[in-house]
């Protein structure tokens, strides 16, 4: 394992170090099957935001399919890595902080892949709240979630797993679960504890 100086995944330097040293065990290096199936069966092309996009394979895939996609990452090294990984399609990748990024138009879909589990548990509420702020009622949050019934919040990460009960409690005020199934093509770091889920943004109530 590479010797790293930065140990705080809240800091872009943490990710810069890992991308610069090519230490990315969360990187599948390809577009996962559930996303491919989702695009094939979608009733229309969706304006999509991908937070924490890393090498941006999914951004390239969606762009090639004709979708309006913007992928963001707050790590300059990740953005540079995406430029090398996906070439011309990296024009869809923007260096930006998810918690501050303001899209020109509200996304119809946020695609999640190893972003929620990349940040410490203390940021979970912030992420869910930001999803809810960015997505209008009826819009979708779809992707891969690192759910573990035996999750220990004190366990070091990333990735940081979450118990199903805590996950459902976090999401319930803002989203309705439409699809939930096991993932068959997980990479080693997520294997057996990854779910493909689709959530729909609820109509806001009581300011939520």
* pLDDT per position as a tens digit, 155-188: 677 999 999 999 999 999 999 999 999 999 998 8
pLDDT attached to residue 139: 98
By percentage, how much of the chain surpasses pLDDT 70? Answer: 94
User: What DSSP element (H or E) covers 4?
Assistant: none
Task: Write the pLDDT tens digit of every residue in 9-26.
Answer: 999 998 999 888 888 878
pLDDT at residue 149, as a whole number: 73
Q: Quick one: pLDDT band at residue 200, thresholds 50, 70, 90? A: very high
Show Cβ contacts of residue 130 under 8 Å, excluding neighbours closer than 6 positions.
Answer: 98, 99
The answer to whether the CB of 56 falls within 8 A of the CB of 20 is no
Q: Return the closest-CA partner of residue 47 out of 127, 95, 94, 106.
A: 106
Task: Give the pLDDT mean for 138-159.
Answer: 83
Q: Would you state the pLDDT for residue 22?
A: 82
Name the residue with tokens 């501050």: 100
Question: Rounded distance, CA 168 to CA 175, Å?
Answer: 9
User: Which pTM does this prediction carry?
Assistant: 0.93
Percentage of the chain modeled with pLDDT above 90: 78
Distance between CA atoms of 126 and 53, rounded to whole angstroms?
18
């Amino acid at each position: 394992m590479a010797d790293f100086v930065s140990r705080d995944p809240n800091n872009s330097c943490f990710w810069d170090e890992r991308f610069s040293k090519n230490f990315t065990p969360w990187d599948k290096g390809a577009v996962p099957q559930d996303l491919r199936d989702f695009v094939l069966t979608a009733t229309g092309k969706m304006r999509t935001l991908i937070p924490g996009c890393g090498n941006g394979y999914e951004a390239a895939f969606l762009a090639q399919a004709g979708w309006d996609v913007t992928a963001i990452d707050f790590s300059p090294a990740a953005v540079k890595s995406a430029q090398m990984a996906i070439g011309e399609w990296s024009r869809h990748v923007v260096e930006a902080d998810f918690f501050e990024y303001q899209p020109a138009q509200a996304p119809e879909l946020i695609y999640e892949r190893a972003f929620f589990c990349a940040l410490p548990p203390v940021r979970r509420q912030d992420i869910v709240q930001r999803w809810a702020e960015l997505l209008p009622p009826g819009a979708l949050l779809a992707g891969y979630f690192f759910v573990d019934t035996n999750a220990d919040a004190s366990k070091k990460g990333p990735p940081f797993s979450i118990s199903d009960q805590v996950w459902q409690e976090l999401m319930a005020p803002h989203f309705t679960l439409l699809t939930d199934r096991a993932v068959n093509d997980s990479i080693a770091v997520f294997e057996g504890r990854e779910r493909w889920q689709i959530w729909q943004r609820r109509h806001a109530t009581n300011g939520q």
